[in-house]
Amino acid sequence: MVGLEIKREVIDGELADNRRRILPGVAALGGMAIPALIYVLANGISGDAAAGWAIPSATDIAFALGVASLLGRRVPGALKAFLAALAIIDDLGAVVVIAAFYTPHLDLPALGGALVTIGLMVALNRLGVRRLWPYLLLGLVLWVLVHASGIHATLAGVATALCIPLRDEQGRAPSDGDCTHSPLLRLEHGLHRLVPVLVLPIFGFANAGISLSGIGAEQWLAPVTLGVGLGLALGKAAGVFAAAMLVIRLGWAVIPRGATRRQLLGTAMLCGIGFTMSLFISMLAFPDHPEFQDEARLGILAGSILSGVAGWVCLRSGAHHSSPVSGSEADAAGRLH
Protein backbone atom coordinates (compact mmCIF):
# COMPACT_ATOMS: atom_id res chain seq x y z
CA MET A 1 0.00 0.00 0.00
CA VAL A 2 2.89 2.36 0.77
CA GLY A 3 4.37 1.66 -2.66
CA LEU A 4 1.08 2.49 -4.39
CA GLU A 5 0.83 5.75 -2.42
CA ILE A 6 4.39 6.72 -3.34
CA LYS A 7 3.77 6.20 -7.06
CA ARG A 8 0.44 8.07 -7.03
CA GLU A 9 1.92 11.05 -5.17
CA VAL A 10 4.98 11.23 -7.46
CA ILE A 11 2.99 11.04 -10.71
CA ASP A 12 -0.20 12.90 -9.87
CA GLY A 13 -0.06 14.25 -6.33
CA GLU A 14 1.85 16.27 -3.74
CA LEU A 15 5.21 15.03 -5.07
CA ALA A 16 4.44 15.71 -8.74
CA ASP A 17 7.11 18.41 -9.17
CA ASN A 18 10.53 19.05 -7.67
CA ARG A 19 9.52 21.98 -5.46
CA ARG A 20 6.81 19.90 -3.85
CA ARG A 21 9.18 17.00 -3.28
CA ILE A 22 11.92 19.01 -1.61
CA LEU A 23 10.14 19.89 1.65
CA PRO A 24 8.84 16.43 2.67
CA GLY A 25 11.90 14.75 1.17
CA VAL A 26 14.46 16.75 3.12
CA ALA A 27 12.27 16.70 6.25
CA ALA A 28 12.06 12.90 6.03
CA LEU A 29 15.86 12.64 5.77
CA GLY A 30 16.30 14.87 8.81
CA GLY A 31 13.69 12.83 10.65
CA MET A 32 15.63 9.65 9.99
CA ALA A 33 19.14 10.94 10.68
CA ILE A 34 18.67 12.71 14.04
CA PRO A 35 16.82 9.83 15.81
CA ALA A 36 19.49 7.40 14.60
CA LEU A 37 22.17 9.74 15.98
CA ILE A 38 20.43 9.94 19.36
CA TYR A 39 20.23 6.14 19.51
CA VAL A 40 23.93 5.82 18.68
CA LEU A 41 24.81 8.38 21.37
CA ALA A 42 22.91 6.27 23.91
CA ASN A 43 24.18 2.85 22.78
CA GLY A 44 27.46 3.39 20.95
CA ILE A 45 28.54 2.07 17.57
CA SER A 46 29.66 -1.39 18.70
CA GLY A 47 28.09 -4.23 20.63
CA ASP A 48 24.81 -6.09 20.15
CA ALA A 49 22.62 -3.10 21.08
CA ALA A 50 24.14 -0.96 18.32
CA ALA A 51 22.14 -2.88 15.70
CA GLY A 52 18.96 -1.04 16.73
CA TRP A 53 20.02 2.35 15.38
CA ALA A 54 17.25 2.38 12.74
CA ILE A 55 14.38 1.61 15.15
CA PRO A 56 13.50 5.25 16.04
CA SER A 57 13.89 6.41 12.43
CA ALA A 58 10.48 5.18 11.21
CA THR A 59 7.11 6.95 11.23
CA ASP A 60 3.79 5.11 11.44
CA ILE A 61 1.77 6.82 8.70
CA ALA A 62 -1.61 5.46 9.84
CA PHE A 63 -1.31 6.62 13.45
CA ALA A 64 0.31 9.97 12.60
CA LEU A 65 -2.41 10.86 10.09
CA GLY A 66 -5.05 9.52 12.47
CA VAL A 67 -4.02 11.97 15.19
CA ALA A 68 -3.93 14.82 12.66
CA SER A 69 -7.41 13.88 11.43
CA LEU A 70 -8.80 14.06 14.98
CA LEU A 71 -8.13 17.79 14.90
CA GLY A 72 -10.28 18.32 11.81
CA ARG A 73 -10.04 21.81 10.33
CA ARG A 74 -7.48 22.92 12.90
CA VAL A 75 -4.90 21.24 10.66
CA PRO A 76 -4.80 22.71 7.11
CA GLY A 77 -5.26 20.23 4.29
CA ALA A 78 -1.89 21.14 2.79
CA LEU A 79 -0.21 20.29 6.11
CA LYS A 80 -1.91 16.88 6.18
CA ALA A 81 -0.72 16.31 2.62
CA PHE A 82 2.81 17.27 3.71
CA LEU A 83 2.60 14.80 6.61
CA ALA A 84 1.34 12.04 4.31
CA ALA A 85 4.09 12.67 1.75
CA LEU A 86 6.75 12.81 4.47
CA ALA A 87 5.54 9.58 6.07
CA ILE A 88 5.44 7.81 2.70
CA ILE A 89 9.03 8.86 1.91
CA ASP A 90 9.98 7.88 5.47
CA ASP A 91 8.47 4.42 4.98
CA LEU A 92 10.32 3.98 1.69
CA GLY A 93 13.54 4.97 3.47
CA ALA A 94 12.82 2.40 6.18
CA VAL A 95 12.33 -0.31 3.53
CA VAL A 96 15.66 0.63 1.92
CA VAL A 97 17.37 0.54 5.34
CA ILE A 98 15.90 -2.90 6.01
CA ALA A 99 17.09 -4.20 2.65
CA ALA A 100 20.56 -2.66 2.99
CA PHE A 101 21.40 -3.20 6.67
CA TYR A 102 19.26 -6.09 7.92
CA THR A 103 19.99 -8.61 5.16
CA PRO A 104 22.30 -11.36 6.47
CA HIS A 105 23.20 -12.99 3.12
CA LEU A 106 22.51 -12.82 -0.61
CA ASP A 107 21.45 -15.66 -2.91
CA LEU A 108 22.46 -14.41 -6.37
CA PRO A 109 20.34 -16.82 -8.48
CA ALA A 110 17.22 -15.89 -6.52
CA LEU A 111 18.12 -12.21 -6.80
CA GLY A 112 18.55 -12.60 -10.55
CA GLY A 113 15.13 -14.26 -10.79
CA ALA A 114 13.66 -11.35 -8.84
CA LEU A 115 15.14 -8.84 -11.29
CA VAL A 116 13.73 -10.83 -14.24
CA THR A 117 10.30 -10.82 -12.56
CA ILE A 118 10.42 -7.05 -12.09
CA GLY A 119 11.38 -6.75 -15.77
CA LEU A 120 8.31 -8.77 -16.75
CA MET A 121 6.05 -6.47 -14.70
CA VAL A 122 7.62 -3.39 -16.30
CA ALA A 123 7.03 -4.95 -19.72
CA LEU A 124 3.35 -5.56 -18.85
CA ASN A 125 3.07 -1.90 -17.89
CA ARG A 126 4.72 -0.74 -21.13
CA LEU A 127 2.47 -3.03 -23.19
CA GLY A 128 -0.61 -1.40 -21.68
CA VAL A 129 -1.87 -4.32 -19.60
CA ARG A 130 -4.46 -2.87 -17.23
CA ARG A 131 -5.74 -6.01 -15.50
CA LEU A 132 -4.48 -6.43 -11.94
CA TRP A 133 -4.15 -10.21 -11.71
CA PRO A 134 -0.96 -10.56 -13.85
CA TYR A 135 0.83 -8.02 -11.66
CA LEU A 136 -0.39 -9.61 -8.44
CA LEU A 137 0.60 -13.09 -9.62
CA LEU A 138 4.07 -11.91 -10.60
CA GLY A 139 4.23 -9.94 -7.35
CA LEU A 140 3.70 -13.16 -5.40
CA VAL A 141 6.51 -14.82 -7.39
CA LEU A 142 8.68 -11.76 -6.70
CA TRP A 143 7.97 -11.98 -2.96
CA VAL A 144 9.14 -15.62 -2.89
CA LEU A 145 12.30 -14.84 -4.89
CA VAL A 146 13.21 -11.74 -2.86
CA HIS A 147 12.67 -13.65 0.37
CA ALA A 148 14.88 -16.48 -0.92
CA SER A 149 17.56 -14.00 -2.04
CA GLY A 150 18.14 -12.82 1.54
CA ILE A 151 16.85 -9.27 0.99
CA HIS A 152 13.89 -8.55 3.22
CA ALA A 153 10.70 -9.25 1.28
CA THR A 154 9.08 -5.91 2.14
CA LEU A 155 10.99 -4.55 -0.85
CA ALA A 156 8.98 -6.87 -3.13
CA GLY A 157 5.74 -5.14 -2.14
CA VAL A 158 7.13 -1.72 -3.04
CA ALA A 159 8.60 -2.96 -6.34
CA THR A 160 5.32 -4.59 -7.33
CA ALA A 161 3.37 -1.44 -6.50
CA LEU A 162 5.68 0.74 -8.61
CA CYS A 163 5.03 -1.45 -11.66
CA ILE A 164 1.22 -1.24 -11.46
CA PRO A 165 -0.18 1.35 -13.93
CA LEU A 166 -1.76 4.52 -12.59
CA ARG A 167 -3.03 5.78 -15.95
CA ASP A 168 -5.88 4.35 -18.00
CA GLU A 169 -5.74 2.85 -21.51
CA GLN A 170 -5.55 6.34 -23.07
CA GLY A 171 -2.65 7.34 -20.84
CA ARG A 172 -4.72 9.71 -18.71
CA ALA A 173 -4.10 10.05 -14.98
CA PRO A 174 -7.28 9.68 -12.88
CA SER A 175 -8.88 12.87 -11.61
CA ASP A 176 -10.89 13.55 -8.46
CA GLY A 177 -10.06 10.16 -7.04
CA ASP A 178 -11.87 8.24 -9.81
CA CYS A 179 -10.49 4.71 -9.56
CA THR A 180 -12.74 3.07 -12.19
CA HIS A 181 -10.12 2.91 -14.94
CA SER A 182 -6.91 3.05 -12.88
CA PRO A 183 -5.45 -0.32 -11.81
CA LEU A 184 -3.35 1.40 -9.14
CA LEU A 185 -6.28 3.25 -7.59
CA ARG A 186 -8.49 0.14 -7.69
CA LEU A 187 -5.90 -1.84 -5.77
CA GLU A 188 -5.13 1.02 -3.37
CA HIS A 189 -8.84 1.45 -2.67
CA GLY A 190 -9.15 -2.25 -1.85
CA LEU A 191 -6.07 -2.26 0.38
CA HIS A 192 -7.27 0.82 2.27
CA ARG A 193 -10.21 -1.28 3.44
CA LEU A 194 -8.14 -4.39 4.15
CA VAL A 195 -5.01 -3.04 5.82
CA PRO A 196 -6.55 -1.04 8.72
CA VAL A 197 -9.07 -3.71 9.74
CA LEU A 198 -6.96 -6.84 9.17
CA VAL A 199 -3.26 -6.41 8.44
CA LEU A 200 -2.31 -3.78 11.04
CA PRO A 201 -4.37 -5.31 13.90
CA ILE A 202 -2.83 -8.74 13.26
CA PHE A 203 0.63 -7.21 13.17
CA GLY A 204 -0.02 -5.21 16.32
CA PHE A 205 -1.36 -8.15 18.31
CA ALA A 206 1.44 -10.42 17.13
CA ASN A 207 4.36 -8.09 17.79
CA ALA A 208 3.44 -5.29 20.18
CA GLY A 209 2.64 -7.35 23.24
CA ILE A 210 4.84 -6.77 26.24
CA SER A 211 4.11 -7.48 29.87
CA LEU A 212 4.68 -4.43 32.05
CA SER A 213 4.66 -6.54 35.22
CA GLY A 214 8.08 -6.52 36.84
CA ILE A 215 9.27 -3.62 34.69
CA GLY A 216 11.26 -1.25 36.86
CA ALA A 217 13.60 1.70 36.58
CA GLU A 218 16.38 -0.49 35.21
CA GLN A 219 14.35 -1.39 32.12
CA TRP A 220 12.99 2.14 31.60
CA LEU A 221 16.50 3.61 31.86
CA ALA A 222 18.22 0.95 29.76
CA PRO A 223 20.26 2.43 26.86
CA VAL A 224 18.08 0.74 24.23
CA THR A 225 14.88 2.06 25.83
CA LEU A 226 16.29 5.58 26.12
CA GLY A 227 17.79 5.56 22.65
CA VAL A 228 14.52 4.49 21.03
CA GLY A 229 12.22 6.61 23.22
CA LEU A 230 14.26 9.81 22.99
CA GLY A 231 14.96 9.19 19.32
CA LEU A 232 11.23 9.08 18.56
CA ALA A 233 10.01 11.76 20.97
CA LEU A 234 12.82 14.30 20.52
CA GLY A 235 14.87 13.23 17.51
CA LYS A 236 11.99 12.95 15.08
CA ALA A 237 10.53 16.35 15.97
CA ALA A 238 13.93 18.06 15.92
CA GLY A 239 15.09 16.41 12.71
CA VAL A 240 11.90 16.99 10.72
CA PHE A 241 11.33 20.56 11.90
CA ALA A 242 14.96 21.69 11.58
CA ALA A 243 15.35 20.20 8.09
CA ALA A 244 12.03 21.68 6.93
CA MET A 245 12.84 25.16 8.26
CA LEU A 246 16.30 25.01 6.68
CA VAL A 247 14.99 24.48 3.14
CA ILE A 248 12.23 27.07 3.72
CA ARG A 249 14.80 29.65 4.91
CA LEU A 250 17.01 28.89 1.91
CA GLY A 251 14.07 29.52 -0.38
CA TRP A 252 14.13 26.01 -1.85
CA ALA A 253 10.63 25.23 -0.61
CA VAL A 254 7.70 26.96 1.06
CA ILE A 255 5.70 26.19 4.16
CA PRO A 256 2.45 24.28 3.43
CA ARG A 257 -0.36 26.65 2.50
CA GLY A 258 -2.35 27.99 5.45
CA ALA A 259 0.05 26.53 8.04
CA THR A 260 2.03 28.28 10.75
CA ARG A 261 5.47 27.42 12.07
CA ARG A 262 3.90 26.14 15.29
CA GLN A 263 1.65 23.82 13.29
CA LEU A 264 4.67 22.63 11.31
CA LEU A 265 6.38 21.84 14.64
CA GLY A 266 3.30 19.94 15.82
CA THR A 267 3.31 17.92 12.62
CA ALA A 268 6.99 17.14 13.12
CA MET A 269 6.13 15.86 16.61
CA LEU A 270 3.54 13.48 15.17
CA CYS A 271 6.30 11.92 13.08
CA GLY A 272 7.66 10.44 16.33
CA ILE A 273 4.79 7.93 16.37
CA GLY A 274 6.83 4.96 15.22
CA PHE A 275 4.82 1.94 16.32
CA THR A 276 4.39 -0.64 13.50
CA MET A 277 7.49 -0.04 11.37
CA SER A 278 9.66 0.55 14.45
CA LEU A 279 8.42 -2.73 15.95
CA PHE A 280 9.19 -4.44 12.67
CA ILE A 281 12.77 -3.14 12.62
CA SER A 282 13.30 -4.05 16.29
CA MET A 283 12.54 -7.70 15.49
CA LEU A 284 15.05 -7.66 12.63
CA ALA A 285 17.69 -5.84 14.68
CA PHE A 286 17.57 -8.16 17.71
CA PRO A 287 16.56 -11.65 16.53
CA ASP A 288 18.67 -13.32 19.23
CA HIS A 289 18.17 -10.80 22.04
CA PRO A 290 14.60 -10.84 23.38
CA GLU A 291 15.63 -8.57 26.25
CA PHE A 292 16.63 -5.87 23.75
CA GLN A 293 13.36 -6.38 21.88
CA ASP A 294 11.43 -5.77 25.11
CA GLU A 295 13.44 -2.64 25.87
CA ALA A 296 12.93 -1.40 22.31
CA ARG A 297 9.16 -1.96 22.67
CA LEU A 298 9.14 0.05 25.87
CA GLY A 299 10.94 2.88 24.07
CA ILE A 300 8.58 2.67 21.09
CA LEU A 301 5.54 2.71 23.38
CA ALA A 302 6.77 5.66 25.44
CA GLY A 303 8.16 7.65 22.51
CA SER A 304 5.08 7.15 20.35
CA ILE A 305 2.65 8.14 23.12
CA LEU A 306 4.67 11.24 24.02
CA SER A 307 4.95 12.24 20.35
CA GLY A 308 1.23 11.76 19.73
CA VAL A 309 0.16 13.75 22.78
CA ALA A 310 2.70 16.54 22.25
CA GLY A 311 1.84 16.84 18.56
CA TRP A 312 -1.90 16.91 19.28
CA VAL A 313 -1.49 19.64 21.92
CA CYS A 314 0.82 21.72 19.70
CA LEU A 315 -1.46 21.47 16.65
CA ARG A 316 -4.59 22.17 18.68
CA SER A 317 -3.11 25.34 20.16
CA GLY A 318 -1.17 26.29 17.05
CA ALA A 319 -4.28 27.09 15.05
CA HIS A 320 -5.01 30.02 17.36
CA HIS A 321 -1.77 31.18 18.96
CA SER A 322 1.02 30.83 16.36
CA SER A 323 2.33 33.76 14.43
CA PRO A 324 0.97 33.79 10.88
CA VAL A 325 3.07 32.97 7.86
CA SER A 326 4.79 35.95 6.31
CA GLY A 327 3.24 37.53 3.23
CA SER A 328 6.01 36.38 0.90
CA GLU A 329 5.70 32.82 2.19
CA ALA A 330 1.93 32.90 1.78
CA ASP A 331 2.24 34.20 -1.78
CA ALA A 332 4.79 31.55 -2.59
CA ALA A 333 2.58 28.87 -1.07
CA GLY A 334 -0.31 30.07 -3.19
CA ARG A 335 1.81 29.79 -6.34
CA LEU A 336 3.03 26.35 -5.35
CA HIS A 337 -0.46 24.90 -4.85
> What is the CATH number for 95?
1.20.1530.10
Pairwise CA distance, residues 12 & 268, whole Å: 24
Model confidence, pTM:
0.72
Q: Assign 273 to helix, strand or coil.
A: coil
> 8-17: string of b/e by CB count within 10 Å (b at 16+)?
bbbebbbbee
Residue 233 forms part of a structural domain: yes
65, part of any domain? yes
Name the residue range of residue 21's domain. 14-102+203-336
- Closest alpha carbon to 59 in 22, 104, 99, 29: 29
Instruction: List per-residue pLDDT tens for the chain, 337 residues long.
Output: 877 877 887 787 766 777 777 899 899 999 999 999 999 999 988 888 999 999 999 888 777 877 887 787 788 877 887 888 888 788 778 878 887 888 777 788 998 999 999 999 999 999 988 889 999 999 999 999 988 887 767 778 888 998 999 876 666 666 555 566 788 888 888 887 787 677 766 766 665 555 566 666 777 889 999 999 999 999 999 999 999 999 999 988 888 888 889 999 999 999 999 887 888 888 888 988 888 888 898 999 899 999 999 999 999 886 654 444 443 444 343 333 3
Answer whether residue 162 is part of any domain: no
**Domain for residue 297, yes or no?**
yes
Does residue 109 sit within a domain?
no
Question: Can you say whether the dihedral through the CA atoms of 328, 331, 336, 337 is positive or negative?
Answer: positive
| 3-state secondary structure at position 51 | helix
Within a domain: residue 281?
A: yes
Whether 152 maps to a domain, the answer reads: no
Q: How many domains does the chain have?
A: 1
CA-wise closest residue to 49 among 299, 307, 237: 299
For residue 168, being part of any structural domain is answered with no
